[in-house]
A = this chain, B = another copy of it.
Amino acid sequence: MTTPAAFVAVGSELLRTQRTDTNSLLAARLLRGRGFHLVEKRCVEDDEQAIAVAVRELAARAGLVLVSGGLGPTADDVTREGVARALGLGVHRYPPLEEALTARYRALGREVPPFALKMADVLEGAEILPNPRGTAPGQLVRAGQCTVVLLPGVPVEFETILSRHLVPRWPVQEGAVCVLRLSGVYESMVEARVAPLYERFGRQHVTILAGRGLVDLVLEAEGEGAEQRLEEMRAAFAAAAGADLYGYDDTTLAAAVAAQLRRRRWRLAVAESCTGGLLGGRLTSEPGASEVFVGGVVAYSNALKERLLQVPAAILAEHGAVSGPAAEAMALGALRLGAECGVAVTGVAGPGGGSEAKPVGTVHIAAVTPNCRRHRAFTFPGDRTAVREWATNLALDLVRRVVEEG
């Protein structure tokens, strides 16, 4: 059995602006497999009472509460005081921290401003968790059955303290998670194929997450024999996924495409219209992309399609820039830039530019290799952003498939 954990992100900017907390995602990942499962997360204001209420409520129902943010030097930073109030603990200035703080400022040629000295305040009975990346340390206190941990909100400091000073002290738990990553599929298609496996492994151990043209199957097992059961699940679901499976766990679709190309010692070039560079951007998101990716052309105008990709003017005149023949000609143009594989995307991303014959969402994708030419036509749902993301994902998917086939 795993212990329920909760997460509190402190920061008014997380409530008032479009900024989102990401520390909780890292925490969920690191805690899993160490005997914890996240049951709740919250964002609260930089307010002593709000922090106190959140910690009090969560400490009553979780075995671990992580509190992120509000440990800095400004008047807004009141997490220490809020947690102290929640747990009925005192706060005192800790001379070794005060000295370290003074030394740190002196090294920068400055005196510590009096208000900044609060970063040397420690909760009664707290264990101090060193912060090699910043000024304010983490703090750990026990409150009955619950452990409450205060961590800085700056992501690199949060991650460093959590991964170095907290996670290693909790034993690795039997039980694990495996993610199967599929591309070129819809959620309902996958659901229908894997449904027969639910009875065998338990519906509650499978989560389906759908992106645009992407589906992740999150498989979980816990308790005794978990590893073996997870391995059986992995094999069964992988068989159901078939050729739509491109990788496991943290493997991105771009990385899977690069791995396929590397295996064949092929290089890829792109010709993009409606995606405007997003496909190239994804292909180069992984280190080492230059081994398999030469680059390409963003041919947003027809003039560039003709000039840099040698798309025949007759094709553009007869079929239009958004057409199968144009996509194939663009992919061939890309291949001729000095690659063994060329991929092209052309479409109507919207909101304008649609017609009855080619409504918004119409996208043609083509891929060519020395041995094959492949073209697919789609009508993607959603707004401009959605259509472009669908198109990028399905272009990567098509490359993956043609390179695998050789």
- Which residues in A have some Cβ–Cβ distance to B below 8 Å? 12-20, 22, 25, 28-29, 32, 37-45, 50, 53-54, 57, 61, 75, 203, 207, 209, 216, 218, 220, 270, 272-285, 287-290, 293-301, 303-304, 307-308, 337-338, 349-352, 384-385, 388
**In the assembly, what is the distance between CA of A288 and CA of B25, in Å?**
36
Task: For A338, give its contact among B12, B280, B287, B303 (CB under 8 Å).
Answer: B303
Flag if B337 contacts A308 (CB, 8 Å).
yes
Residues on the B chain within 8 Å of A37, using CB: 15-16
Flag if B16 contacts A28 (CB, 8 Å).
yes
Flag if B287 contacts A276 (CB, 8 Å).
no
**In the assembly, what is the distance between CA of A197 and CA of B288, in Å?**
47
Flag if A293 contacts B300 (CB, 8 Å).
yes
Residues on the B chain within 8 Å of A279, using CB: 277
Given contacts A277-B280, A280-B281, A294-B300, 12 further A-B contacts (CB under 8 A): A14-B41, A20-B22, A42-B43, A270-B277, A276-B285, A276-B295, A277-B284, A278-B281, A280-B280, A295-B297, A296-B304, A297-B308
Most buried by B among A32, A50, A385: A50
Flag if B300 contacts A284 (CB, 8 Å).
yes
Flag if A303 contacts B298 (CB, 8 Å).
no
Closest chain B residue to A38, Cβ basis: B15
Q: Tell me, rounded to whole Å, the shortest Cβ–Cβ distance linking A182 to chain B.
A: 15
Most buried by B among A22, A272, A280: A280
Q: Assuming A280-B272, A300-B289, A300-B295, is B28 touching A39 (CB within 8 A)?
A: no
Flag if A16 contacts B280 (CB, 8 Å).
no
**In the assembly, what is the distance between CA of A40 and CA of B50, in Å?**
9
**In the assembly, what is the distance between CA of A194 and CA of B12, in Å?**
20
Closest chain B residue to A9, Cβ basis: B41
Flag if B207 contacts A17 (CB, 8 Å).
yes
Most buried by B among A25, A273, A300, A349: A300
Q: Tell me, rounded to whole Å, the shortest Cβ–Cβ distance linking A307 to chain B.
A: 8
Flag if A304 contacts B294 (CB, 8 Å).
yes
Closest chain B residue to A338, Cβ basis: B303
Flag if B276 contacts A284 (CB, 8 Å).
yes
Residue contacts A-B, CB under 8 angstroms, 14 given: A15-B37, A18-B25, A18-B28, A42-B42, A274-B284, A277-B280, A277-B283, A280-B281, A281-B388, A287-B351, A287-B384, A294-B300, A295-B304, A308-B337
Residues on the B chain within 8 Å of A295, using CB: 273, 276, 297-301, 304
Closest chain B residue to A26, Cβ basis: B18
Residues on the B chain within 8 Å of A272, using CB: 277, 280
Closest chain B residue to A286, Cβ basis: B384
Residues on the B chain within 8 Å of A289, using CB: 276, 300
Flag if B29 contacts A39 (CB, 8 Å).
no
Flag if B294 contacts A301 (CB, 8 Å).
yes
Task: For A287, give its contact among B16, B273, B352 (CB under 8 Å).
Answer: B352
Q: Tell me, rounded to whole Å, the shortest Cβ–Cβ distance linking A216 to chain B.
A: 8
Closest chain B residue to A293, Cβ basis: B300
**In the assembly, what is the distance between CA of A17 and CA of B32, in Å?**
10
Flag if B42 contacts A15 (CB, 8 Å).
no
